[in-house]
Chains A and B, each alone.
Chain A
Amino acid sequence: MSALTGLLLAGSMLLASPPGPVNGHGLTITFDSQGSPGMVGSEATSDAMLDLGSVSGTSEGAGPRTRAWTIRRSIVLRLRSDTGVRGPARIWVSLASDTPRVRVRLDGRVLSTAPQLISPNAPVGRPLSHNLEIEVSSNAAPGPLETILNWSAETL
């Protein structure tokens, strides 16, 4: 009985792990600039840029006595399959590197360099909307902001 329990745990870990670096096995992730204001160069590509422009506590509606303020944007992406697979699929997201100046959340989950399962049951072919939040400390020095989100998906 104890041996069987150990195998079950190993199997669960495999299911929850994101796919490896191998890409292009019939499935692609594309970003939708129509539903994602500020998205640049995203149509039909898997590498997109979201330009926030100049942002401040005032522009993002921060309260007068806040220690941190949050940039909120909607990200719309779509999974496409060349082989006609309709899913569902799992989607993981991680940060390319740590971002000490800001805290990045997607759908309320704090992102880090470790992949986070964002969508456990995402349909293929339909637009998927996610809420991106970037929390900026009010004490942080002004200047450029950059963070890179790595997305991976695998059909079930």
Chain B
Amino acid sequence: MKKLALLTLLAASSAMAAGETASATLTVTGTVSGALSITIDSAPGTFSGGGTNAATSDLGTFTQFAPPAGFVATPSGPSSFALNGTIGITVNATNVVSASYDLTAILGNPAETGLTYKLGAGAITVTNAAPVTVAAAHAYGAFGLPWELDVNSTNSIAINNSINLVATAN
């Protein structure tokens, strides 16, 4: 009985070795490029689009005495006050050698009359004329970008603008 089983196995192995064979080579090439990603995680006002690179902040109707959620109002004159808040952003890098980046900002439209947009720890004034650096040599990851909105007007102001942020690896 044992001999019979042995002969059967050897016959099966011979049949397998007689199969047609082939080989091939696939060479996969490419170039890995570095990339940055930036997302907006939070902002004052009614915030939507968090975690993407196109978020919206609706400040609603506000006054010095009833500022938008996430903003703190500080009077600066008889008809002026400053709103101070934070924009939460995350900048990550894949396959980038540098350890830091610069962040620039520019407004999509001219600042509304009576409003001044300021960003960054140094409260850098941002306009629609040219990008300005609002964070220099900043480490990758999440952080809060200070946002100050100076209001200087005795009239109501309709706000419809955008802040475009660009991160550039150093």
Tell me the A residues contacting B by CB distance below 8 Å. 3-4, 7-8, 11, 14-15, 19-31, 46-59, 62, 64-66, 69, 71, 75, 77, 79, 81, 83, 85, 89, 96, 132, 134, 136, 138-156
Secondary structure type dominating chain B contacts: strand
Chain A to chain B contacts (Cβ below 8 Å), 16 pairs: A14-B16, A21-B23, A22-B21, A29-B24, A46-B25, A53-B30, A56-B33, A62-B94, A138-B93, A143-B31, A145-B29, A146-B28, A147-B27, A147-B28, A151-B24, A152-B23
**Nearest chain A CB to B141 CB, angstrom units:** 9
**Nearest chain B CB to A28 CB, angstrom units:** 5
Contact status B94-A138, CB under 8 Å: yes
Given contacts A57-B95, A96-B25, A144-B32, 20 further A-B pairs with CB under 8 A are A3-B2, A19-B19, A25-B22, A31-B24, A52-B30, A53-B30, A54-B33, A55-B32, A55-B33, A56-B32, A56-B95, A57-B94, A58-B36, A65-B92, A69-B94, A71-B30, A144-B30, A145-B29, A146-B29, A153-B21
Contact status B33-A23, CB under 8 Å: no
- B12 on the interface (CB 8 Å rule)? yes
Contact status A56-B25, CB under 8 Å: no
Contact status B13-A23, CB under 8 Å: no
Chain A residues within an 8 Å CB radius of B35: 56-59, 62
- B34 on the interface (CB 8 Å rule)? yes
Size bin of chain B's contact surface? 35 or more
Chain A residues within an 8 Å CB radius of B158: none
From B32, B36, B38, B90, name the one whose CB has the most chain A CB atoms within 10 angstroms: B32
Once A and B bind, how many residue pairs between them come within 8 Å at the CB atom? 186
Tell me the B residues contacting A by CB distance below 8 Å. 2, 5-6, 9, 12-13, 16-17, 19-39, 51, 90, 92-97
Contact status A77-B24, CB under 8 Å: yes
Which 4 A-B pairs rank lowest in CB-CB distance, beginning with the nearest?
A: A52-B30, A57-B94, A27-B20, A29-B24
Contact status A49-B27, CB under 8 Å: yes
Contact status A134-B28, CB under 8 Å: yes
- In angstroms, Cα B23 to Cα A31, docked, is 12
